[in-house]
A and B are shown apart, each in its own frame.
Chain A
Amino acid sequence: MTDATGPIARQAGSRSLLTPDARTKKRNAAEARFRAYGVAAIVTAVLALCFLLFTIIRDGHSAFQQTYASIPVTLQAEIVDPEGNRDPAEMAKVYSMSYGRILDDALTQWIEAEGIEIEGLEASDIKGFFSGEAQATLRSQILADPELVGTTVDMTALTSSRVDGMFKARVTEESAARDAKTSPAQIALANAMKDRGALVTRFNTGFLTKPDASDNRAEAAGIGVAILGSLYMMLIVLVLALPIGVAASIYLEEFAPKNRFTDLIEVNISNLAAVPSIVFGILGLAAFINFAGLPRSAPIVGGLVLTLMTLPTIIISTRAALKAVPPSIRDAALGVGASRMQSVFHHVLPLAMPGILTGTIIGLAQALGETAPLLLIGMVAFVSTYPAAPPEGFFDPASALPVQVYNWTQRADPAFFERASGAIIVLLVFLLCMNLLAIWLRRKFERRW
């Protein structure tokens, strides 16, 4: 028995285990700090996400509301039908501009009838009250039904983006005074109309269905063509990328011998997954448009480029899904006399299908949000007509949702920024649905072996 440790322990033991000394305190503080950094990092990331989503929704939700004027309009025959024979062919020679006069007159009459007096209200304020699109709508309405000429109808007409902005806090008294396209008097007029129920704000279905509109008609711009274009491209990606990706994965995972060639393919796939998306755009421009002579702005080119981009994602997730099927399944199939091809196509592939579909949907979601390559293949062009039904429609000019957003950010009227944010909300809703579908598929069909 030795007591050598006793005195030493006593010397050092002037401190107790229960009261930490300075160094322990320091170390514990460092520990707490380190932990706090981690929490701070996660909180920062989550806050950034929340702020991002918040600003998008704050800026974009108003795109789903639109202000319409609802006043009685007299369709003066001498303007609409100068020949007086109610022949639609003759009436079609009258330009939309003339219809603007009908709307302006209707508004002036309405102001007189209601006895509204606004200081400084000028003819330009009345002229700029309606959207240019309202004239075109009125014109096509009358051409479709010439009997309306000469009668007075209750019209719901699209107002200009400035008037619309007055009810979305985008146009204020101050900004209106500086803006050449509107004036404080126009605000007063709009408020007076609102009080008398002649201005209604309601859900903007046109935003979801209408094509893009020109620079000074922000109020009429919609994402109909863009949604259709995106849908076409997703169809092409699905039809091409899924079978090709699955075939490639089956070969690499189940049949490929370990040799140089297989290595080459693998290296290529992992590199393609990391090639910047804009390089795929250059490929599309050089190969599909310049070399193969496919049309610009067409969903077929966008679909092909996005297919090439999505392939690595699909291959990687399909291989993971195939790998997750236990070897015993293959062994059992081979054991009862199936060929390797049969064991894969009859047993392994069906079992891996939920995983493959999940990966495909996630790949599609990525492709849906991709913008840069589409800019290079001419999808930025202004497209105001709907593409035809597939397959011809694949070759018609179309837009795509994210490109439409980019397009609108390049315009001067701030009303387009509201539309851009609104389009992003639609895009995010699509992505959310796709991801939820993927999660649901995984939950529903997930198998634990």
Chain B
Amino acid sequence: MPVLWILLIVFAIAAAGYVLGARRVDALSGGDHRRLHSRTTYYGWNVALFALVPALLLLMLWLFAQPLLIERTVSSYIPDSAIAEGETRGIVLGQVRDVAGTLNRAVSEDVITDVEAANLQPDDAEVMDRLKAAELPILTTPEILGAAKAHRRMVETASTWLGIVVIALALLWAGFALWRTSPDFRARNVVEQVIRGVLIGCSCIAIATTVGIILSLVFETINFFQLYPWQAFFFGTEWTPSFGGGSELGMLPLLWGTLYISFIALLVAVPIGLFAAIYMSEYASRRVRSLAKPVIEILAGIPTIVYGLFALVTVGPLLRDWIAQPMGLGNSGSSVMTAGLVMGIMLIPFVSSLSDDIINAVPQSLRDGSLGLGSTHSETISKVVLPAALPGIVGAILLAASRAIGETMIVVLGAGAMAQISGNPFEAMTTITVKIVGQLTGDNDFASPETLVAFALGLTLFVITLALNVLALYIVRKYREQYE
């Protein structure tokens, strides 16, 4: 039974429960609503929520656990002898899933019948030919085919049982809630408790996301370090992945490119953003401010792919033809400078709006004191306001740096793909994010170090940006408290 159907049926039960609950309490009270503890709608909601919440929770849990359990059972179908040299159990299980998926597609496209799929043998030439004719060939060992058939069978049984169990649960709880309904029943309190639980559950999705990110990164990274030594990854200076094996996967060239590009981006964004913020908060008239601020913030609303295309089509050739080639610094359109400049433009609003907030938070009395002592406006700003705002501005710059390090599309299109450590900003270099995209797009083999390295890179990226963010937030928060 498709999950969508189950959902619809559960919702239908809940809706029916709402009507029944409200009716029942109405009848029990004899039409005199003063005898009820809560308003009739709450009795309806009570039944509906009791039908919905446990059923949906079970559904989610089941869908989460099902692949794990099936995987474990299918794994027992494959003896160790069926795993070829140089392969792991994970690869074979992946093949099992692929074969099962092919069988499913063949059945859904009416190439073979359900019964044929369930009884398929590798020597069944007639069915195999039909599969081949439909461009769904199955070329595999008997063990894997057997496991795949078991996989299919289990998924089928599981989905039937899922429907039965979930719907039964919804009916059971709805019946229980209906039975409990009486004029004295404190329906509102119960409903509010349940809603509160739902609200807390929704808040926890943030935690679940973080946990999900960490788990997905850490597990695959551990797999990677089992195949490739961690010293070579963290301290290697060569990046030459080749899917045939024998690749060098040193992170340092990527880290260098990332930091170099981010540095140039900050070199562009910090002065421009900071001065723009100073001008807008200290000098600009209300009209100029109300005009300039939204215009600069448009820069923040432009998607990064647009900046990427801008770097690739416009800025890159411009820098190459006017600066790099005449000065003999390189012939590459994509370069550290290209990506850095464009990323700098993207970061301007980020720096300026954060600095703006921070400068505005400096108490007016400090400015008044300085102006009263006879300093000029600019002296007040540079000698009083900025030092007072410095910790906050440092925080803003750190946040911008973390943005720059994690930025992907601009560097994918603007920085090139050459992994090298060089000081020349007009040469193409590459970053961590570029290589994550490079290693994970297309067909992946999740058992080769060349694919898994992307997860290790992702974890490195996550740790660096997280550390920068935590530090920046800590500084900003600490600073804000100072004047409150």
Q: How far is the CA of A424 from the CA of B413 in the complex (A)?
A: 15
Q: Output the least CB separation between B94 and chain A (Å).
A: 9
Q: Which A residues touch B220, using CB under 8 A?
A: 286
Interface stretch of the complex, out of A142-150, A205-213, A367-375:
A367-375
- Tell me, in angstroms, the Cα distance from A371 to B407 when the chains sit together: 11
Q: Known contacts A247-B198, A341-B196: does B379 contact A55 (CB below 8 Å)?
A: no
B433 with A278: CB separation less than 8 A? yes
| B window 425-476: CB within 8 A of A | 433, 436-437, 440-441, 446, 454-455, 458, 461-462, 465-466, 469-470, 473
Q: Which residues of A contact B314 (CB under 8 A)?
A: 51, 55
- Residues B202 and A244 in contact, CB atoms below 8 Å apart: yes
Contact of A45 with B272 in the complex, beta carbons under 8 Å: yes
B407: contacting residue among A28, A276, A291, A375, CB under 8 A? A276
Question: How far apart are B36's CB and chain A's nearest CB, in angstroms?
Answer: 15
What are the interface flags for A37-80 relative to B under an 8 Å C-beta threshold, 1 for contact and 0 otherwise?
A: 11111101110110110011001000000000000000000000
Alpha-carbon gap, A290 to B280, bound state (A): 49
Contact status B466-A248, CB under 8 Å: no
- Report whether B279 and A42 are in contact in the complex, using a CB–CB cutoff of 8 Å: yes
A276-B433, A287-B212 are contacts. A405–B305 as well, Cβ < 8 Å?
Answer: yes
What residues on B are CB-neighbors of A278 within 8 Å? 406, 408, 433, 436-437, 458, 461
Residues of the B chain whose Cβ atoms lie less than 8 Å from the Cβ of A244 = 202, 205
Over the window 266-279 of chain A, the binary record of Cβ atoms lying under 8 Å from chain B Cβ atoms (1 yes, 0 no) is 00111110111111
**CB-based contact B207/A56 at 8 Å:** no
Q: Are A272 and B303 in contact (CB under 8 A)?
A: no
Q: Mark A286-310, 1 if CB is under 8 A from B, else 0.
A: 1100111100000000000000100
Pairwise interchain contact A428-B376, C-beta atoms closer than 8 A = no
Residues of B171-222 at the interface with A, using a CB-CB cut-off of 8 Å, are 188, 192, 195-196, 198-200, 202-207, 209-210, 212-213, 216-217, 219-220
How many inter-chain residue pairs (CB < 8 Å) link A and B? 256
User: B283 at the A/B interface (Cβ < 8 Å)?
Assistant: yes
Which residues on the A side are within 8 Å of B308 (C-beta)? Answer: 371, 406, 409
Query: Cβ of A234: which chain B residues have Cβ within 8 Å of it?
Result: none
Stretch at the interface among A98-106, A167-175, A187-195, A250-258: A250-258
- Establish whether residues A34 and B378, one from each chain, have CB atoms under 8 Å apart when the complex forms: yes
**B326 on interface, CB distance cutoff 8 Å:** no
A428-B433 in contact (CB<8A): no
Q: A270-B473, A282-B217, A282-B455 are in contact. Are A251 and B203 (CB under 8 A)?
A: yes
Chain A interface size range: 35 or more
Question: Which of A44, A312, A424 contacts B306 (CB under 8 A)?
Answer: A424
Looking at the assembled complex, report how far the CB atom of A50 sits from the nearest CB atom of chain B, in whole angstroms: 9
**In the complex, chain B residues whose CB is within 8 Å of the CB of A277:** 406, 408
Min CB–CB distance A55 → chain B (angstroms): 5
CA distance A260 to B436 in the complex (A): 35
Residue of A nearest to B279 (CB): A38
Interface centre among A34, A59, A366, A370 (most CB of B within 10 A): A34
| B229 touches A (CB below 8 Å) | no
- Flag if A38 contacts B198 (CB, 8 Å): no
Interface size grouping (class) on chain B: 35 or more
Does B115 interact with chain A (Cβ within 8 Å)? no
Q: How close is A209's CB to chain B, nearest CB, in angstroms?
A: 22
Complex Cα distance A250/B202, Å? 10
A348 nearest CB across to chain B (Å)? 14
Contact partner of A248 (CB less than 8 A), chosen from B4, B206, B381, is B206
CB distance from A394 to the nearest CB of B (A): 10
- The answer to whether B67 touches A291 (Cβ under 8 A) is yes
Kindly provide the distance from the CB of B165 to the nearest chain A CB, expressed in whole angstroms.
19
- A232 interface residue per 8 A CB criterion: no
Q: Is B278 an interface residue (CB 8 A)?
A: yes
Label chain A's interface by main secondary structure. Answer: helix
A277 vs B306: C-alpha distance in the bound complex, in angstroms? 16
> Contact check: which of B63, B97, B303 meets A431 at CB < 8 Å?
B303
| Cα–Cα distance between A345 and B304 once the two chains are bound (Å) | 38
Instruction: Looking at the assembled complex, report how far the CB atom of B283 sits from the nearest CB atom of chain A, in whole angstroms.
Output: 6
Smallest CB gap from A54: residue in B:
B314
In the docked arrangement, what's the CA distance between A311 and B379, Å? 43
B residues less than 8 Å from A30 (CB atoms): 376, 378-379
State whether the Cβ of A130 lies closer than 8 Å to any Cβ in chain B. no
Closest residue of A by beta carbon distance from B293: A42
- Chain B residues with CB under 8 Å of A421's CB are 309, 313
Residues of A within 8 A of B97 (CB): 293
Given A283-B213, A371-B408: A45 and B378 within 8 A (CB)?
A: no
With a cutoff of 8 Å between Cβ atoms, the chain B residues found around residue A312 in the complex are 206
Bound CA span A270–B399, Å:
12
B276 contacts the other chain (CB 8 A): yes
A-contact bits for B281-311, CB 8 A (1 contact / 0 none): 0110000000010011011011111111110
Closest to A285 in B: B440
Q: How far is the CA of A27 from the CA of B406 in the complex (A)?
A: 42
User: How far apart sit A376 and B219, CA to CA, in the bound complex (Å)?
Assistant: 18
With A341-B195, A341-B196 known as contacts, the answer to whether A282 contacts B436 (CB < 8 A) is yes
Q: Chain B residues with Cβ under 8 A from A376's Cβ?
A: 436-437, 440-441
In the complex, chain A residues whose CB is within 8 Å of the CB of B282: 38
A18 within 8 A of B: no
Determine whether B397 belongs to the interface, using a CB cutoff of 8 Å to chain A.
Answer: no
In the bound assembly, the distance between CA atoms of A264 and B202 in angstroms comes to 14
- Does B73 have its Cβ within 8 Å of any Cβ on chain A? no
**B402 on the interface (CB 8 Å rule)?**
yes
Q: How far is the CB of B461 from chain A (nearest CB, A)?
A: 6
Q: Is B251 an interface residue (CB 8 A)?
A: no
Q: How far is the CA of A402 from the CA of B309 in the complex (A)?
A: 11
Known: A37-B275, A42-B280, A282-B436. A31 touches B378 (CB 8 A): yes
Q: Is there contact, CB below 8 Å, between A27 and B441?
A: no
* Interface presence of B382 (CB below 8 A): yes
User: B213 near A274 (CB under 8 angstroms)?
Assistant: no
Residues of chain A within 8 A (CB-CB) of B296 are: 42, 45-46, 49
Contacts of A265 on B, CB cut-off 8 Å?
203-204, 206-207
Residues of A within 8 A of B279 (CB): 35, 37-39, 41-42
Q: Which residue of B lies closest to A39 (CB)?
A: B279
Query: B210, A248: Cβ atoms under 8 Å?
Result: no
- A152 within 8 A of partner (CB): no
Cβ–Cβ < 8 Å partners of A402 in chain B: 303, 305, 409
Given contacts A45-B352, A409-B309, 16 further A-B contacts (CB under 8 A): A38-B282, A49-B299, A251-B200, A265-B206, A269-B206, A274-B403, A276-B405, A276-B406, A277-B406, A339-B192, A371-B304, A375-B437, A406-B305, A406-B409, A427-B303, A431-B303
Write 6 A-B pairs (CB below 8 A) sorted by A numbering: A45-B345, A248-B206, A275-B213, A278-B408, A279-B406, A427-B306
Task: Report which A residues bind B (CB closer than 8 A).
Answer: 27-28, 30-31, 33-35, 37-42, 44-46, 48-49, 51-52, 55-56, 59, 243-245, 247-248, 250-252, 255-256, 264-265, 268-272, 274-283, 285-287, 290-293, 308, 311-312, 315, 339, 341, 365-366, 368-372, 375-376, 378, 380, 391, 402, 405-406, 409, 417, 420-421, 424, 427-428, 431, 435
Closest 5 A/B residue pairs (Cβ): A276-B406, A369-B303, A38-B279, A286-B216, A41-B275
